[in-house]
Structure 1
Amino acid sequence: MKIKQVAEALEKFAPLPLQESYDNAGLQIGLTEVEVSRVLLCLDVTEDVIMEAAEKGCQLIVSHHPLLFRGVKCVSDSDMVQRCMRLAIKHDVAIYSAHTNLDNAEGGVNWMIAEKLGLQNVSFLLPTSEGGSGVIAELPTAEAPKDFLLRVKKTFGIDCLQTNRGPERMVKRIALCGGSGDFLLDTAIARGADVFLTGEMHYHQYFGHDAQLWIGIMGHYQSEQFTVELLHRLLQQEFPTLELLETTNATNPIQYI
């Protein structure tokens, strides 16, 4: 099969018009007519990931976060993006990214987070005509807030889960958004969420909500890590004979000491 067929399958599930205006989802590097038999799936494109793809005979990398996010005026070796571009072209490895279009698609990144937490009755937190931002869902049975947050921490392998001092009542209604979802905090409150989970949030947004809901900040990478599994599932359903590999490189640039 050809790279364009892989792109078409991903865009059927998460159409490019769903992406945010600032985004650059889609084909990053490569030619759509090139034949592909093996694909490497990842969250982030780094030099190590590109070399892994080349060494494992992958013709295509499918990532969540785009390598090319802003304009590039020079291709040298002065930063990681430029080095990755040169390396991918040198080894004939194409790169395709499904980013905020996959975030904003029904059944996408946020649905995957909800699935991992065993949530039910999942729907968009902030729906649009075609998709939406974040999701809101329910626990099968109410849980003590710290028990739930500790379960989030364990499920997502979080070294340090940041929270506020929320109300001491059982929680059942959960709003969430992978990655940078702090813009949805007020929506989560308005929709009666007991907990709002996201990957990162500005300091001043923590204030003033202790009587309203619990806030859980998971880390950007941690919140979206299961996107690789989602990509695997989507492509396996469409192309049962396509060989799909998940990167063995841990690409989270943030370390905890």
Structure 2
Amino acid sequence: MKLRELTSFLEEIAPLAYQEDYDNSGLIVGNQDMEVSGALISLDCTESVIDEAIQLGFNLIISHHPIVFKGLKKFNGNSYVERVVIKAIKHDIAIYAIHTNLDHILQGVNKKICEKLDIRNVSILKVKAGVLKKLVTFCPLAAADNVRKALFEAGAGMVGNYSECSFNVEGIGTFKASTGSVPYVGEIGKQHHEAEVRIEVIYPVNRERVIIASLLGVHPYEEVAYDIYPLTNGFQEVGSGMIGNLEADWDELEFLKFVKQKLGAKVIRHTELRSKKIRRVAVCGGSGSFLLQNALNAGADIFITADFKYHEFFDAEGKLIIADVGHFESEQFTQELLLELITEKFCNFALRLTSQNTNPINYLI
């Protein structure tokens, strides 16, 4: 199949608009029209992963972490990043990254961690702002039902567990058609007054192109009036980290041992135990120290994540346990998640998890 078939599917699940500003998710190397022979899934794209793809005869690598975060000015092979990109281009291997956009969806990286740790009744720990917009349009009364229907079918009007949500108010619109126009109502050269409906709907930014196309396709007017407003509202289905509950209370030390075993962690760095039971658990795959206050506000007994700095451990102030399990260890199941998602959609596609351990950190035990 064409590469764009696969990337379109991935971006429907985890839209690129959901990634953080610093991120570089998406197609990093390759052409969307290339035929894909097979894909290798990895957490990181390293030289050894490229070599494995060559050996397998695969021409696509899907990694969680982008191999390129910042612009490259030279391709001399002086860094592992340059060498990976050079080798990929030389062997016609595409590299696709699906990073914080996959972190931020309900069925993404953090949900997979929760499944592994049997954390239930989960929700987003910190909802993401800036991914919702409001569309306001105006149409004649007789066309209002058709316009609303088209907007809803295109993905507008979703608010939490509710669909087909809109606000409507009637009023009078005025216009004067000029020479050369083909007005739906009214006469050329005369001001016309028309009873209209103002329709307002909220939508996620990744649906904007489809929604506007649907509006223009069904609206009866030659010139369609509409406004788009960016919203600062948080989107409950998109954001960082996850919070949920265990089925029963756990002893602190026993739960830490359980986490260590489930994640295959060599070591867990944690704050002092509080001699309290653990029931409410917050998680964040990768670097999650920025979510500590959110975990505290959500009433978490323990926050499982990675990359806490020395002084940041003090910020828990005995109100919860910080459990730093390691970056790779917290995100390792992302590979399994991607395999499941892609296999469910493309059951006959050659797909394999890398055999390479790309964790750059080793422990002397």
TM over 0.5: yes
* Structure 1 gap ranges (5+): none
2:319 maps to 1:191: no
Deviation for aligned residue 1:176: 0.8
1:20 partner SS: coil
Deviation (angstroms), 1:124: 0.2
Q: One-letter code of the match for 1:235?
A: I
Give 5+ residue unaligned stretches, structure 2: 129-234
- Aligned 1:130-141 pairs, distance under 5 A: 131-141=238-248
Aligned pairs for 1:1-257 (under 5 A) are 1-128=1-128, 129=235, 131-257=238-364
> In the TM superposition, what is the alpha-carbon distance from 1:91 to its structure 2 partner?
1.1
Taking the aligned partners of 1:133 and 1:186, their CA distance within structure 2 comes to 13
Deviant stretches of 4+, over 6 Å? none
CA positional deviation for 1:80: 0.4
Take 2:306 and 2:54, find their aligned partners in 1: how far apart are those partners? 31
Aligned equivalents of 1:162 and 1:74: distance in 2? Answer: 39
Structure 2 Cα separation of the partners of residues 125 and 166 of structure 1: 23
Count residues in correspondence: 257
Q: Displacement of 1:76 after TM fit?
A: 1.2
Percent identity of equivalent pairs: 44
8 Å contact kept, 1:164–1:210:
no
Q: Could you tell me how far apart the structure 1 residues matched to 2:18 and 2:344 are?
A: 22
Q: Which range is displaced more, 123-132 or 184-193?
A: 123-132
Kindly state the Cα deviation for residue 205 of structure 1 after the two structures are TM-superposed. Answer: 1.2
CA contact (8 A) 2:292 2:316 kept: no
Q: Secondary structure at the match of 1:75?
A: coil
* TM-fit CA distance, 1:166: 2.9
Q: Distance in 2 between matches of 1:22 and 1:200?
A: 17
Secondary structure (helix, strand or coil) at the match of 1:24 reads coil
Code of the aligned partner of 1:168? S
Conserved 8 A contact 2:28-2:68? yes
DSSP-derived class of the 1:175 partner:
strand
1:71-121 alpha-carbon deviations (Å, 9 max, x no partner): 100111100011001100111110000000000111100001001001100
Q: Report deviation, 1:59.
A: 1.3
1:209 deviation in Å? 2.7
State whether residues 40 and 62 of structure 1, in contact with CA within 8 Å, keep that contact through their aligned partners in structure 2. yes
The question of whether the paired residues in 1 share the 8 Å contact of 2:245 and 2:281 is answered with yes
Cα RMSD after superposing both structures: 0.9
Distance 1:242 1:132 in 2: 30
What secondary structure is seen at the aligned counterpart in 2 of 1:189? helix
**Amino acid in the other structure paired with 1:205:** E
Shift of 1:199: 1.6
Q: Which amino acid aligns with 2:91?
A: H
> Is residue 166–residue 210 contact of structure 1 (8 Å, CA) maintained in 2?
no
Deviations 1:136-171 (A, max 9, x none): 011011100111111110111111100000311110
- How much does 1:210 deviate? 4.8
